Amino acid sequence: MKLRPVLGATIGGAIVLAFLPLACHNQYLMHVAVIAFIFAALTASWNLVGGYGGMFTFGHQAFFGLGAYTAALLAINLGWSPYAGIFAGGMFATIAGIIIGVPVLRLRGAPYISIATLAFAEVVRIIADNLTKLTHGETGLVGIPTLPSFALPGIGQVTFSLADSRPYYYVSLMALVAVLVIVGLLLSTRVGLALGAIRDSPEAAESLGVALTTYKVLIFLTSSFIAGCIGGLYAFVVSVLTPSTVLSVEIMVQIIAMALIGGLGTFFGPVLGALILTVGLELLRAFSDWQLVIYGALLVVVVIALPGGLISLPKRITEIAGRIVSAPKSRPAADSVAISNRFEQEKP
């Protein structure tokens, strides 16, 4: 993957989004945007494993939740700075990633990786649920401080409070950009090439000297670290944690829906999916009760009708339009169409 266009688009998009709070004064919409950025970053981190790595893990919520609880508990009980807590959350998630990743990533079948990671995440959730002295279980962990305020030259004092979502907006936007930059940097190196090779044919890649397990574990841990940090940030944004909000399977379902609907294994697809699903469904408030029904149905429809996700939609439309225009002429054989599509997909 070429780094420059991807980074350019990321930073360009971020600059456009940075002007949004100037035009929009609705606190509620700002908060929705914060959640959308956080989920976009989380989905992008899972996409590294599930999309680029081809390992359909089902326990990403464990790293998110562990990061959230670690950061929150360190801030509450030991008075750590939230920023140190967020980093510690990432580190703790990485350690958890080592514990589950090393045995699990040797498995080949997609369903086995899914269920092993799911089992791990459920164990984490049950433990968090039952360690009520530490986590307060479903009663909720409260008393999480806000991010510390600081002075910015030219802007003045920046204070984080529940009343004003704008500082959180910028922090979560920066977090999203940071995650995308890390993912982009990683994919532009040898790792990106190796991942592509592993995804296309694990056997061939291994026979050519690509250290399969090393690369798999490497991106799995990177992804766990990012998810842990994002979880830490989330803790300070929402300020109340319960196992069912940060550790439930529902988070994973949302991540998968966002990645798949946006475009699995593409750089911007998962971000697009997260933004569209969070903001789009929030705009359709009338259907909010039906949110998960819509998620489920969309997943099925997209998998059947648009396997490349929304990000492949423009290409699909031109493809179909081209086919209609050139219909009377002889078409290339179906096989060569499939092959050329494959090669096009490999390009960023």
Partner 1 sequence: MNIGQLVIDGLVAGAMYAIMASGLSLVWGTVGILNFAHGEFYMIGGYALYFTLVELNANPLLAVIAAVLVTFGIGAFVEMGVLRWLLNRREWELPTLVATLGLSVFLQNLALRSFGATDKSVPYLFHSVYHVGRVTIASQRVAIVAVAVIAFALLWGAMRFTRFGIGLRATAQDRDAATLMGIDVKKIYLLAFAISAALAALAATMLSPIFSINPWMGARPLLKAIVVVVLGGMGSIEGAIIGGFGLGIIESIGVALVSSEWEDVIAFGLLILTLWLKPSGLFGTREA
Binding site for partner 1 (CB under 8 A): 54, 56, 100, 103-104, 107-112, 114-116, 119-120, 122-123, 126-127, 129-130, 253, 256-257, 260, 289-290, 292-293, 295-300, 303-304, 307, 338
135 CB-near residues (< 8 Å, 6+ apart):
69, 73, 128, 129, 141, 241, 243
- Cα distances from 199 to residues 54, 76, 338, in angstroms, run 6, 43, 17
C-alpha dihedral (271, 277, 280, 286), degrees to nearest 10? -160
Q: How far is CA 13 from CA 36, 107, 227, in A?
A: 15, 38, 22
- Closer Cβ to partner 1, 110 or 211, answer by number: 110
User: In this complex, which beta carbon is closest to partner 1, that of residue 98 or of residue 297?
Assistant: 297
Q: Of the two residues 6 and 104, which places its CB atom closer to partner 1 in the complex?
A: 104
Q: Could you tell me the smallest distance in angstroms from the CB atom of residue 101 to partner 1?
A: 12
Residue closest to 61 by CA, chosen among 37, 39, 85 = 39
Minimal distance, residue 184 CB to partner 1, in Å: 24
Min separation Cβ 73 and partner 1, Å: 21
**Angle, vertex CA 7, rays to CA 6 and CA 11, nearest 5:** 120
Q: What contacts 254, CB < 8 A, 6 or more positions away?
A: 39, 277, 295
Pick 225 or 295: Cβ nearer partner 1:
295
Residues 6+ apart with CB under 8 A from 171: 147, 160, 233
User: Rounded to 5 degrees, what are φ and ψ at 152?
Assistant: -110, 130
User: What is the smallest separation between the CB atom of 122 and partner 1, expressed in angstroms?
Assistant: 6
Cβ closer to partner 1: 24 or 303? 303
The residue (of 84 and 115) whose beta carbon lies closer to partner 1 is 115
Indicate left, alpha or beta for 114 from its phi (over 0: left) and psi (-120 to 50: alpha). alpha
The kind and range of the H/E element at 135 are helix 132-135
CB of 295 to partner 1, least distance (A): 6
C-alpha to C-alpha distance for 347 and 315, rounded to whole angstroms:
13
Nearest approach, Cβ of 343 to partner 1 (angstroms)? 15
Smaller CB separation from partner 1, 127 or 211: 127
Shortest Å distance, C-beta 174 to partner 1: 31
Residue 264: CB minimum distance to partner 1, A: 8
Our CB check for partner 1 shows the closer of 177 and 264 to be 264
Chain-centroid distance of CA 223 in Å reads 9
Do residues 198 and 210 make contact, with C-beta atoms less than 8 angstroms apart?
A: yes
